[in-house]
Amino acid sequence: MKPLDDQQQAARDWFESLRDRICAAFEAIEREAGSDASFEYTPWDRTDESGEPGGGGVRGQMTGKVFEKVGVNVSTVGGTFSDEFASSIPGAEEDPSFFATGISLVAHMANPHVPAVHMNTRFLTTTKRWFGGGADLNPAIPYEEDTDAFHARLRAACAAHDPTFYPRFSKWAEEYFWLPHRQVARGVGGIFYDRLEGHFDEHFAFTRDVGEAFLDIFPQIVRKRMDTPFTDEDLERLLEFRGRYVEFNLLYDRGTLFGLKTGGNIDAILMSLPPVAKWK
């Protein structure tokens, strides 16, 4: 993989530092619950389409009392896209060279009253450069106040940069996190954005604020719900909801497709899948 330029290195450093802070926050919640669970980190290397070294990443995963399964992965990869995949990536049609760095997080919770969550932010370069990502809440048992708090925090992060961001990106999340074969949403939304290009400093600042917003609000929601009593019926509802989550990630998720098409680490790509799910 080619040496990183200043923008690429800055983005990589941010995603790795955010990973460290998120993992520390989640481990702190486990300690509050009387658990000594900690993240286990597994580095991986990638071979590019060309056969040359193509970067890699670190897969972080924890199984605990509150977090039944949580993965927080960072990766920095580069090389050349396959001819088939290059045609679908902006700026790669004529030159298939690429670079990508990012953080990807999915948390599946032991208590059905605590929502699952997804967060991903990334920086990609081809002949173009852009940021993308977002965060969305996925409760099996929705609480309106949790949904409102989650959206309010993301709305504030957006408003600090552009008044059009939240209306645009929350609508994009509604449309993106949708299972067309079932005609249902995957969760209660959040924001989703992609291909923010042309203004590195401004869009990098926004992407950092999305990470900060997630780190602020999600632990608050977890602490609020993690000791809520639940029934066998609640657990069944959780397991069936997870089945819908699996369907979306395997059929429609762009990150899953990107990882598989670029030779990513299979365990890291599929860490988004829950440990147990049901279909009826």
**86-90, 222-226, 227-231: lowest mean pLDDT where?**
86-90
What is the average pLDDT value for the chain, to the nearest integer? 95
Res. 83: pLDDT tops 80: no
- Cα separation of 203 and 206, whole Å? 5
User: Is residue 210 one of the residues assigned to a domain?
Assistant: yes
Provide the pLDDT confidence category of residue 258 given band limits of 50, 70 and 90.
Answer: confident
Q: For residue 119, give the nearest of 105, 132, 107 by alpha carbon.
A: 105
**Mind listing the pLDDT tens digit for each residue in 20-58?**
999 999 999 999 999 999 999 999 999 987 888 999 999
CB 186 within 8 A of CB 173: no
Q: Which domain holds residue 188?
A: 6-272
pLDDT (0 to 100) of residue 238? 98
- Cα separation of 193 and 122, whole Å? 10
Provide the pLDDT confidence category of residue 179 given band limits of 50, 70 and 90.
Answer: very high
Total tally of structural domains belonging to the chain: 1
User: Is residue 181 one of the residues assigned to a domain?
Assistant: yes
User: Is residue 259 one of the residues assigned to a domain?
Assistant: yes
Q: In CATH, what number is assigned to the domain containing residue 181?
A: 3.40.1500.10
Query: Helices 165-176 and 144-159 meet at what angle, rounded to 10?
Result: 130
**28-37, 50-59, 166-175, 203-212: lowest mean pLDDT where?**
50-59
Provide the pLDDT confidence category of residue 153 given band limits of 50, 70 and 90.
Answer: very high
User: Is residue 278 one of the residues assigned to a domain?
Assistant: no
User: Is residue 68 one of the residues assigned to a domain?
Assistant: yes
Tell me whether residue 118 is one of the annotated catalytic residues. Answer: yes
User: Is residue 18 one of the residues assigned to a domain?
Assistant: yes
What does pTM read for this prediction? 0.94
CB 83 within 8 A of CB 61: no
Sign of CA dihedral 272, 273, 274, 279: positive
pLDDT (0 to 100) of residue 221? 98
**Mind listing the pLDDT tens digit for each residue in 239-248?**
999 999 999 9
User: Is residue 279 one of the residues assigned to a domain?
Assistant: no
Q: For residue 141, give the nearest of 188, 105, 192 by alpha carbon.
A: 188
Provide the pLDDT confidence category of residue 216 given band limits of 50, 70 and 90.
Answer: very high
Pair of tokens at residue 24:
């520390």
Which residue is catalytic, options 113, 118, 151, 203? 118
Sign of CA dihedral 92, 6, 46, 198: negative
